[in-house]
C-alpha cells in the first residue's frame, strides 16, 4: 500500500481529531495558532514562487539579460 504524505495542516487537524477521539484535553487556541502559522508559511511561499516566475518573464521581455543571467538573478533573490 502506498504511503500517504500529509500536509502540515492535515497533521494538525488529525492530531486534534485524535485527541478528541481519545477524550484527551486539547488546547484549541494553541492549535489555531499552529494552523495560522502553517497556512501563512505555505501562502507566502506560493506567492514568492509566483513573483519569481513573473519577474523572470518580465526580465526576459524587457532586458537584454541572458537566460543564465536571469537564472542567476532569480537564484540570488530566492536565497535571500
Nearest to 46 by CA among 57, 73, 38, 34: 38
Q: How many helices (H) and strands (E) does the chain have?
A: 3, 0
Residue 3, in any domain of the structure: no
Answer whether 16's CB lies under 8 Å from 33's CB.
no
Domain count, the chain: 1
The pLDDT score that the predictor gives to residue 26 is 75
Q: Which residues form the domain of 22? A: 8-78
Residue 29 grid cell: 487556541
Residue 29 domain-assigned? Answer: yes
Which residues of the chain fall below pLDDT 50?
none
Residue 1 in any domain: the answer is no
For 31-53, write each residue's pLDDT tens digit. 788 877 777 766 667 777 777 77
Q: Please tell me the predicted confidence (pLDDT) of residue 47.
A: 73
Q: Does residue 22 fall inside a structural domain?
A: yes
Rounded to two decimals, what is the model's pTM? 0.41
Residue 24 in domain:
yes
pLDDT score recorded for residue 78: 67
Amino acid at each position: 500500500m502506498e504511503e500517504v504524505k500529509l500536509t502540515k495542516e492535515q497533521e494538525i487537524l488529525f492530531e486534534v481529531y485524535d485527541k478528541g477521539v481519545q477524550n484527551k484535553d486539547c488546547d484549541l487556541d494553541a492549535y489555531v495558532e499552529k494552523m495560522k502559522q502553517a497556512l501563512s508559511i505555505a501562502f507566502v511561499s506560493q506567492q514568492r514562487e509566483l513573483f519569481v516566475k513573473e519577474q523572470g518573464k518580465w526580465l526576459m521581455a524587457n532586458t537584454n539579460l541572458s537566460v543564465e543571467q536571469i537564472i542567476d538573478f532569480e537564484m540570488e533573490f530566492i536565497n535571500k
